[in-house]
Amino acid sequence: MSRISTASTIAIAAFMMMPVAAHAEGSLAIFNWGDYISEEMVKKFEAKYDVKVTVDTYDSNETMLAKLKSGITGYDLAVPGDYMVEILIKEGLIEKVEPNTFENYKNLEPQWADVYWDQGRHYSVPWVWGTTSFTVSTKVYKGDVDTLGVMFNPPDELKGRINLLRDVNDVINAALRYLGLPRCNENPDDLKKVQALLTELKPSVKSFAYESKELAESGEVDLAQIWNGKAYLARKGRADLQYSYPKEGYTGWMDNLVVIKGAPNLENAKLFMNFLMDPENAAMMTNFTGYANGVLGSEKFVDPDLAKAHEYRPPEGAPKPEFVKVCNEKVIKLYDRLWTNFLK
C-alpha cells in the first residue's frame, strides 16, 4: 500500500468516526434483533448518561454467533435467546460482569435468578420473555382451546386451516408434549410415534410460516402456532382469536442482555444493564414489544390493556412454561430428518 492510499484510508476512517465522537461523552453499541428495542428507553438512557447509543440488528441467534466469533465486531451488548447464552458462555464470547451485584438486581423476579442458561446470573439479565403456543378462532372452533388436541387432532372445521411455525423444535416439542414423551428424545419408538402423529396431521396443515400473526389476523388460517406477543397483536385485529395455554404444557423462552467479550465501552454496557432492570425502563420495553419483562414492580408502568391481556402472562392454574435446552447432536440430526420428511 502506498503512502498516499494509507493516508486517504486513515482520512476516511477518521471521517467515519467523527459524527459519533462529536455528540456525546461516551458511546454504546447494541447488537439486537430487528425492531426489538424501545426507542423511548434508548433516548432516556442517552439523556441520563450523555452516551450515544447505536443499535444494529440481526435476524437469528446463529447469525449473531457467527459474527461474535470473528471477535472484531466492536459491539458492546447483544440480546441472545436462552439457549444461546449457554453457548456464548461455553465459547467464552461474553464477559462475566456479575449483574447480580448491580444496584437494580434487587428488582429481578426471583424465578429468573437461577435459570439453566446462567445459574445465579453472572453474565446476563432478562430482556423480555414470552411463550410459544397457538391461537385459535373461537368463532370457528367452539370447544376447549387449552389442549394440544385442538392442534394435533383437529376437528373438521379446523382441518386445512392451520399454520405451524416453520421451526423444527417448536413443532416436535409440541408433538412430544401431546404424546406425553420426554424432550430431547432419541428413543426410536418414541420418534416413530411422533412421525406417525405428524404424518396424520400433515393434510390438515395449510402452511408452515413465521407470519402467524398476519395469517391468523387476516383470516387465512383459524389456528396458528404463535408467540404470545404476536397473538396479542393478532387479537387486536381479529377479536375472536384466543391464545391457548395447553394443559399438556408449552414452551417458554427468554431473550437476555449480555456484554460481549472485549466490549469497547464496558462501563456504559454495565450502566445499560442496570438501567434495564429499573421497573419504569423495563416497562418501556414491555410496552414496545408486547412481551413481559423480568422486573418486579414494572407492572404499574405497563399499558393496562396489555397488562390484563390473556396472552401477556400464563393465568393462574395454567401449567408453567417449559424452557427447553439445546439437545445433543444425535437428537438434532434425528429431529432434522423427521422434520425434512414432514415438510416434504
Partner 1 sequence: MALLARKEPRSLISFRGFGTVTGLCLFILYVPMLVLVVFSFNANRAVTVWGGFSLQWYAKAAYNGGLQNAAWNSLVVAVIATTVATAIATAAALATGRGQRFRGSQAFYMLVNLPLMLPEIIIAVGTLSFFALLGMKLSLLTIIIAHTVFCIPFAYLPIRSRLETMDARLEEAASDLYASPLDAYRHVTMPLLMPGIISGAMLAFVVSLDDFIITAMVAGAGSGTLPVYVYTQLKQGVTPEINAISTVLLAVSIVLVAASYFVAKAGSKHVRPATEQP
Residues that bind partner 1 (CB under 8 A): 9, 12-13, 16, 20, 29, 31, 33-36, 39, 54-60, 63, 66-67, 70-76, 210-211, 213-214, 217-218, 220, 230, 233, 237
Cβ 329 to partner 1 shortest distance, Å: 22
Instruction: List, as one string, the DSSP characters of 133-200.
Output: EEEEETTT--S--SSTHHHHS--GGGTT-EEE-S-HHHHHHHHHHHHT--SS---HHHHHHHHHHHHH
Nearer to partner 1, 113 or 168 (CB): 168
Cβ 201 to partner 1 shortest distance, Å: 25
Nearer to partner 1, 146 or 217 (CB): 217
**Cell 381479529 belongs to residue:** 238
Nearest to 248 by CA among 153, 324, 170, 177: 177
Cβ 236 to partner 1 shortest distance, Å: 9
Nearer to partner 1, 182 or 237 (CB): 237
What's phi and psi for 78, nearest 5 deg? -140, 165
212: Cβ contacts below 8 Å, ≥ 6 apart = 135, 163, 165, 224, 225, 226, 227, 230, 234
Nearer to partner 1, 38 or 138 (CB): 38
Nearer to partner 1, 18 or 317 (CB): 18
What is the distance between the alpha carbons of residues 316 and 68, in angstroms, rounded to a whole number? 40
Cβ 34 to partner 1 shortest distance, Å: 3
Cβ 204 to partner 1 shortest distance, Å: 22
Nearest to 178 by CA among 124, 134, 229, 223: 134
